[in-house]
Structure 1
Amino acid sequence: MNAIVKTNAFTKLNPIKSGFRIEQTDRLTIQNKHFDWAGQSGDTIFLQPSNGQGMTEQFTMGMLSRLSAAGEIKHEVGFYLPDDLKPAPLAKGVSFQVSDLNVKQKTRFYGRYAQIMAIEDMVSEGLILPCKKDINASLKEIETRAVAYLKKEATERDLLDHALEHQQLPEAVAKSVRKKRGGGSKDGIALYSGDYLRKLYKNYQKYGLSAVADTLSKSGNRHSGIRPAEQSLLMKTIRTSYMTLERKTLKATVVDVQRAFRHENKRLVEEGELPLRVPGRGAVRGAIKKIEPLRIMIARHGREYAIKKLRPVGKGLEVSRPGERVEMDEWCIDLQSIIHSANLREFFGDELLDLIGLNGDTARWWLVLAIDCRTKVILGMKLTRNPCASAAQECLRMVVSDKGAWADASGALTPWSMAVKPELMVTDNGPAFKSGAFTHCCLDMRIPTLRTHAGVPGMRGIGERIFGTLSTDLMPRLVGRTFSNSIERGDYKSELRACLDAEDVAFILVRWVVDIYHNSPHSSLGGRTPLEQWDADMEDGNYPLSGLPDVATKRLAFGKRIECTVSQQGIVVMGVRYHSPELGMYFMGLGSKRVDVRWDPENLGAVSVYLEGAWQVVPSVHDRFVGMHFHDWMKVRRALRAKSASRKIWNQEIVFNAIDQIEDLVKDRSMAFGIIDTTISDEQFSKIQADLFSSFRMDDTPRLKADGNGLGRAITPRAPDPDIAPSGSKAPAKAGSVKPSPDVEKRAKATSPADTLHKRRAAAPKFGLPPKHED
């Protein structure tokens, strides 16, 4: 079977009129894969894998020439030939490389090689024969010629002397050349005997360069002179003295070893046995060097320290596009601040602030932050009182959302619109990132996660580095720092100096990230700023691999998971009614009317309901709730309850008017609203729904409706509304509170339907309706 290799880089280039010879006995290595010659048809070469596994591939000679010119082909000529048929340089030395020799071996190799080359030159010139007699007679000439091969560089004087010697210069030029000064050559060489050079030259002719190299480095006695009993006691003492967490010095270990040997020798002498030889400092040091460094470091410093210290350091992660790798981590900010804000209290109210922990105490904040490893852009951050799953969840929502509203609210001069769907989300093993809430979010959005080993922050180096930048660049500018420890803090009273509130901290973080950090040159970006790197990737078309999740996907991922009962009116969540044809058909069917619902507090315009094995989007009955935040809706409900605490049914127009007023008031809401984690728990959700919305219902009947007779509106008779009753009028008595008198009932019965209709028409206000004629 043939496989045709197609490469755009090859097809677009002009054909090459060059190549190289490939024989059946050759071997080619292309992209670390070995190939053997399989055949040729015209300009096409067929190559098969050397291991016999895989398909035969075909290459044009032009393609192979380009690969060879790019240095991507290793051509081993005559690889499969027997040694006696190979050329001399390849025989027995096809795998020999001078670079494999150590420094001393190279020195000896080049000394022999220079003398062999000198002999070969003289043989080719017909001056000598490669025999012992001629070589011994020409040792002086061999030394002179060999020195020339050992020179690292040829000087201009050497070139001119060579030209003069061979009469390659005109006579006038030759006279002007300055002759060499007297004195012997500074370069020397250790000449071998004639008999040894004869044998060496013969082996070189037969076996190639490998015959010139020696194996002196493998000679000598490599066995220790220490007896087994001495070796055993020495290593035992080193393990108990040197390889401990006390980390004794080499000097102290030598003392312990000698003390142990003296104690053992005293026992041996008493038993009539030969004493052991006491090792000196060199023997102890040599024994320690033979132990693997990793074992020594684990024993003296611990496993985590050893792994961190001895881990190979490369050039770092290879991230090619934005969103390919996003790291998220938590950090306890080195700052004491007041955990409340006047604007937050005005917006949320005391009750909700107490629920989410913003009660006004002086404490430290936790920051959950996500950073893109390609551009170093910060994609999301959330402030929270304590590390929790909801803060990590909301930080992930910021990663996949536009953050321009918070940048505008802080007055930032640069945008913060960067958002991606991560191809890989990297976190540590913290409880917030292992929780079901965060895990379900990533699974619902199909974001792969990688949780690194605990206690190894280097596996999340980019995320850890941004926290270091915050500590060194931002924290020193603020009042109320806690510093990293008590020694560094000294007499600095963090609690007494705390003057920043929650809104101040949120404002400072946003402005620092958007206007300072994103515009600061980064060393790993080649001097570019994170914002410049992001813009450059977008201009070059280096876009993220996937688009952002849609509204329905975000609702499934970040929405609160609740169960609701389906009724004829649909589903009611927090006083908002949701209905759809699919939900109506489900209600008409058989089976349980309890359904799973996903309710997103950031958009009350719709919910997702699991019906018949699939998620269905069920919109709100009123379009006015599209895009409305749950905290805004809670403020509307509190305002309505303050107006009438006992009222249960509210007309939709009154509710919508209240929504308009509240949205005008919170149009410039607090910066901390979006940065601080204000997620409510399941218990808080149930409590709010029971306290505020259990007795709340909207009357969907509009006051005015068309009668189908052209312009104008007709008022449908209904009970008077106490909130819109004219001033000075009394509210009607509640039904059933006063029993009508018998006279009233008698007059009502005596009145004819025609009289009643006539009176109603006469009393009805005129809205420009055309007059009606009675039959």
Structure 2
Amino acid sequence: MERNADRIEYGEDDLIRIDEIEYRHFGSSDQGHRLQRADDYRLFVEYSHTEMAELEGSERYRRHPAWFSTGNARARERSAVTCLAEIPTREHPKILWKNEYVARFLELQKRGEVSSSNRGMEAAIAKIAEEVNKLPCAAISPNIKGKQRKLRSGTMTSTREPPSYRTLQRWLRTFKECAKTPYALRDNYRNCGSHVAPLEPEAEKLMIEVAEEYATQGKPSQDGLYLKLAAEIDALNKDRPSDAALTLPSKRQFIIRIRSLDKFWVYARRYTLEAAERKFAAVEYGLDVSRIGQRIEIDEWTVDLQTLLVRTGVWNVLSSESRKDVRRVRMCLYVAIDCASRCVLAMRLAPNACAAEAVATIRMIISDKSHLSAGANTIGPWFMSTGIGKLVTDWGSGYRSEECRRVVRSMGATFEHPPAGRPHLRGRVERMFSTIKSQFLGYFTGRTSSNVVEKGLYDPGTGASIPVDDLARNLVRYVVDDYHNRPHDGLGGETPRNAWIRLRRENGRLPVPDRHTQRAIFGIKTECVLDNSGVEILGLRYQSRELHDWFTRKGIHDVAIRLDPEDVGHASVLLGDDWLTVPCLSKEVRGLPLKVWQESSLDLSKRYADEAKLSRPILLATVRDLSAIGLQRKLEAGIAEELDTPETLEQARKALTFGFSLPNWDEDDREQQPTDLLDNIIPVPASIPGEAAQPDQSQTPSTVPAWRMGGLSEDVP
């Protein structure tokens, strides 16, 4: 026998259920217990005493004492339950009242104070009644519903009539035959059948047919169908003799018949199968995600708000008449949310849903958004960014596009498309749209309605009062300062911001792609001519030793190039099957956004088209001024900023004067100028807690070629 084993003593007729398999206790020894399968007596299983003690406290284990005894089998057959707890509460008082009479009589009989004769039992009943009538189970009061309740003064109560000696004899016989189990004294009134007179077969059939018409897409009412049933039975009775007339079921009987129909079948017939599947879908605990970026849900939603398609500054100076001509639109809002922390990782406002906006939202997930929160004047920063493990989307055309799928696969992430018509499988982002609608849109006029009844006479177009850029800034402020700091039920009352910080500390987050990989994935793709000076686009030349080596082997030809809209300081050139990162020879533009350089190059080409050579101070002054303007516009646009696309890049190239390019300044000129082109112009956001600072690529020796080509001397080490 095991030392210090916790030995359990089972009865011979005990039923033991382990993992939904029923066993009968067959015997015990010093080593453990032997159990016999209840469904096959030839099979046995053995458990040690320690194992049985551990099972006793687990959910896998259940025990029914004396289950296989003859008395317990009769008690279950008579009461249709396995224990008193399974009987409805309203029946408990009477069962306990019966048990008091039986138990007290057996106790008196054991002490020899009563006899089993008829007169002896009558005397015993009278004696027992005096004591039992004082118990709560003997009282009958209104609305007691099987529970002990304090009654108001003046409430009329009564006690149960004592049983006759024959009734007590029947209770005693049942009690002894059923192994003295109290629930065997349950009344059989539940088996009395229906008190309603049975219908004729023809009337019963007709009632069933009419009741099933409730499950049709016409959505008839129960009252209307009952009138139809009455009319049809009345029509049939006109051709029948009075003694053979069909009985009209009561309205209550007809409604009970309708309610007995299968609920899923009725809902599917009245609405659609998809609607029934959504309504009756099983509710589970939810997703098992514990790491930031492990599962990200993204979707778009047409905002239920009429918005003014004009910037705030323009709207403020328009006259009342001019304001009437401003176009009203409903913008499309893209949202990406992290399922583990419930933090919003990306938002984009666009006039229409398209693949380009979906890709821009995906890039926003992995990007720093501090400039957006600064532009919206939020109290806290929007510092959340992460790599992507699994991206969950619907079957929208933008997410099914080749470009979107290429971007996600290039990042090493996986796609998941739940079946159409199952929004609960993307419940995090769908719930976010409902939260924005209920908590944010209520502050503004111009809200649209889901139906004409809700809309009434209200015209949302006339009530539109917020421009697009204002809506974008306020959305950012709501998410960063309100939603991220509000207790979330799905997080057990924790705020999304605190959940992000906790999960990042405990499990970390997925890494984001490096800047060169991002350029190769998200960069705007176009084609340029490769020659001995490298590649040139928008007046900027990109050259490196590897690129020149490729040129010496292939000669002058067209190559594919990707330009990062966030930084024109480097470009990715496709050489064969591989992307090569090539720096711009003008290090002054490194870190400069594409939009700023487009405006700068266009301005320079117009103002100095006739000059043979541009002076570097002119370039610096122009870029410095336009950088400040571009930053201000970016902050104003926020999440509604227009995208850079291959089409806009091609338009910018055509707008430049033919042959415009930056000259090769002498090294002396470079040294006389400040190295930081945007010094004191673009504020540097505070570093994000836990994020490593990015190195200054402009000061990395490997990115600045130590040699020159195309008119400058070569200093090749």
By the TM > 0.5 criterion, same fold? Answer: yes
Answer yes or no: is the 8 Å Cα contact 1:427–1:450 preserved in 2: yes
Q: Determine the structure 1 residue equivalent to 2:299.
A: 328
Answer yes or no: is the 8 Å Cα contact 2:486–2:495 preserved in 1: yes
Q: Determine the structure 2 residue equivalent to 1:291.
A: 261
Q: Does 1:405 align with 2:371?
A: yes
Q: Determine the structure 1 residue equivalent to 2:167.
A: 193
Task: Render the CA deviation track for 1:246-270: whole Å, top value 9, x for unaligned.
Answer: 544433322211222233445678x
After superposition, residues 227-626 of structure 1 pair within 5 angstroms as 227-240=200-213, 242-266=214-238, 276-301=246-271, 323=293, 324=295, 326-340=297-311, 361-373=327-339, 375-421=341-387, 424-451=390-417, 462-478=428-444, 500-520=466-486, 529-535=495-501, 541-543=505-507, 545-561=509-525, 569-572=533-536, 574-579=538-543, 583=547, 598-608=562-572, 617-626=581-590
Answer yes or no: is the 8 Å Cα contact 1:319–1:325 preserved in 2: no
Task: Render the CA deviation track for 1:181-219: whole Å, top value 9, x for unaligned.
Answer: xxx99566646635423432332338x667555765345
Answer yes or no: is the 8 Å Cα contact 2:407–2:522 preserved in 1: yes
Answer yes or no: is the 8 Å Cα contact 1:392–1:438 preserved in 2: yes
Answer yes or no: is the 8 Å Cα contact 2:354–2:398 preserved in 1: yes
Distance (whole Å) between structure 1 residues aligned to residue 138 and residue 545 of structure 2 = 90
After superposition, residues 651-662 of structure 1 pair within 5 angstroms as 658-662=622-626
Match of 2:198 among 213, 225, 238: 225
Distance (whole Å) between structure 2 residues aligned to residue 48 and residue 674 of structure 1 = 72
Q: Determine the structure 2 residue equivalent to 1:101.
A: 87
Answer yes or no: is the 8 Å Cα contact 1:329–1:428 preserved in 2: no
Q: Which amino acid is 1:640 matched to?
A: L
Instruction: Using the TM superposition, name which of 629-638 and 584-593 deviates more.
Output: 584-593
Distance (whole Å) between structure 2 residues aligned to residue 239 and residue 294 of structure 1 = 13
Distance (whole Å) between structure 2 residues aligned to residue 640 and residue 48 of structure 1 = 94
Unpaired runs of 5+ in structure 1? 1-15, 154-183, 345-358, 707-711, 714-775
Distance (whole Å) between structure 1 residues aligned to residue 291 and residue 233 of structure 2 = 63
Q: Which amino acid is 1:293 matched to?
A: K
Structure 1 pair 299–591 and aligned structure 2 pair: CA distance change class (3 A): farther
Answer yes or no: is the 8 Å Cα contact 1:428–1:451 preserved in 2: yes
Distance (whole Å) between structure 1 residues aligned to residue 27 and residue 402 of structure 2 = 60
Task: Render the CA deviation track for 1:614-646: whole Å, top value 9, x for unaligned.
Answer: 655454455444433211221121122113337
Structure 1 pair 150–410 and aligned structure 2 pair: CA distance change class (3 A): closer
Match of 2:652 among 688, 701, 704: 688
> SS in structure 2 opposite 1:193?
helix
Answer yes or no: is the 8 Å Cα contact 1:337–1:498 preserved in 2: yes
Match of 2:606 among 637, 642, 658: 642
> SS in structure 1 opposite 2:179?
helix
RMSD between superposed Cα atoms in Å: 5.7
Distance (whole Å) between structure 1 residues aligned to residue 200 and residue 335 of structure 2 = 61
Distance (whole Å) between structure 2 residues aligned to residue 686 and residue 101 of structure 1 = 80
Q: Determine the structure 1 residue equivalent to 2:61.
A: 74
Answer yes or no: is the 8 Å Cα contact 1:244–1:299 preserved in 2: yes
| CA drift at 1:377 | 3.5
| CA drift at 1:678 | 1.6
> SS in structure 1 opposite 2:174?
helix
Instruction: Using the TM superposition, name which of 501-510 and 580-589 deviates more.
Output: 580-589
Q: Determine the structure 2 residue equivalent to 1:205.
A: 179
Distance (whole Å) between structure 2 residues aligned to residue 215 and residue 138 of structure 1 = 26
Distance (whole Å) between structure 1 residues aligned to residue 198 and residue 80 of structure 2 = 39
> SS in structure 2 opposite 1:640?
helix
| CA drift at 1:687 | 3.7
| CA drift at 1:404 | 1.2
Distance (whole Å) between structure 2 residues aligned to residue 561 and residue 118 of structure 1 = 95
Distance (whole Å) between structure 2 residues aligned to residue 605 and residue 648 of structure 1 = 25
> SS in structure 1 opposite 2:473?
helix
After superposition, residues 52-91 of structure 1 pair within 5 angstroms as 61=50, 72=59, 74=61, 76=63, 83=69
Instruction: Using the TM superposition, name which of 272-281 and 43-52 deviates more.
Output: 43-52
Structure 1 pair 224–372 and aligned structure 2 pair: CA distance change class (3 A): farther
> SS in structure 2 opposite 1:637?
helix
Distance (whole Å) between structure 1 residues aligned to residue 209 and residue 304 of structure 2 = 48
Distance (whole Å) between structure 2 residues aligned to residue 522 and residue 431 of structure 1 = 32
Distance (whole Å) between structure 2 residues aligned to residue 570 and residue 477 of structure 1 = 55
Q: Determine the structure 1 residue equivalent to 2:679.
A: none
Distance (whole Å) between structure 2 residues aligned to residue 583 and residue 286 of structure 1 = 83
Answer yes or no: is the 8 Å Cα contact 1:329–1:427 preserved in 2: no
Answer yes or no: is the 8 Å Cα contact 2:375–2:638 preserved in 1: no
Structure 1 pair 365–587 and aligned structure 2 pair: CA distance change class (3 A): same
Distance (whole Å) between structure 2 residues aligned to residue 673 and residue 616 of structure 1 = 33
| CA drift at 1:415 | 1.8
Structure 1 pair 28–639 and aligned structure 2 pair: CA distance change class (3 A): farther
After superposition, residues 105-120 of structure 1 pair within 5 angstroms as 106=92, 109-118=95-104
> SS in structure 2 opposite 1:330?
strand
Distance (whole Å) between structure 2 residues aligned to residue 39 and residue 470 of structure 1 = 65
Structure showing greater radius of gyration is: 1
Q: Determine the structure 1 residue equivalent to 2:319.
A: none
Q: Does 1:672 align with 2:644?
A: no
Task: Render the CA deviation track for 1:654-702: whole Å, top value 9, x for unaligned.
Answer: 7566544533554544423441142244444444344449744445574
Distance (whole Å) between structure 1 residues aligned to residue 368 and residue 560 of structure 2 = 29
Distance (whole Å) between structure 2 residues aligned to residue 24 and residue 694 of structure 1 = 101
> SS in structure 2 opposite 1:379?
strand
Distance (whole Å) between structure 1 residues aligned to residue 562 and residue 36 of structure 2 = 58
Q: Determine the structure 2 residue equivalent to 1:766.
A: none
Distance (whole Å) between structure 1 residues aligned to residue 46 and residue 367 of structure 2 = 48
> SS in structure 2 opposite 1:334?
coil
Instruction: Using the TM superposition, name which of 409-418 and 218-227 deviates more.
Output: 218-227
| CA drift at 1:610 | 5.9
Answer yes or no: is the 8 Å Cα contact 2:376–2:635 preserved in 1: yes
| CA drift at 1:563 | 6.0
Answer yes or no: is the 8 Å Cα contact 1:92–1:210 preserved in 2: no
Answer yes or no: is the 8 Å Cα contact 2:171–2:185 preserved in 1: no
Distance (whole Å) between structure 2 residues aligned to residue 225 and residue 86 of structure 1 = 36
Distance (whole Å) between structure 2 residues aligned to residue 645 and residue 216 of structure 1 = 105
Answer yes or no: is the 8 Å Cα contact 1:333–1:367 preserved in 2: no
Answer yes or no: is the 8 Å Cα contact 1:366–1:387 preserved in 2: yes
> SS in structure 2 opposite 1:339?
coil
| CA drift at 1:405 | 1.3
Q: Does 1:21 align with 2:8?
A: yes
Structure 1 pair 584–140 and aligned structure 2 pair: CA distance change class (3 A): farther
Q: Which amino acid is 2:190 matched to?
A: S
| CA drift at 1:403 | 1.3
Distance (whole Å) between structure 2 residues aligned to residue 137 and residue 586 of structure 1 = 118
Identity %: 22
Answer yes or no: is the 8 Å Cα contact 1:243–1:299 preserved in 2: yes
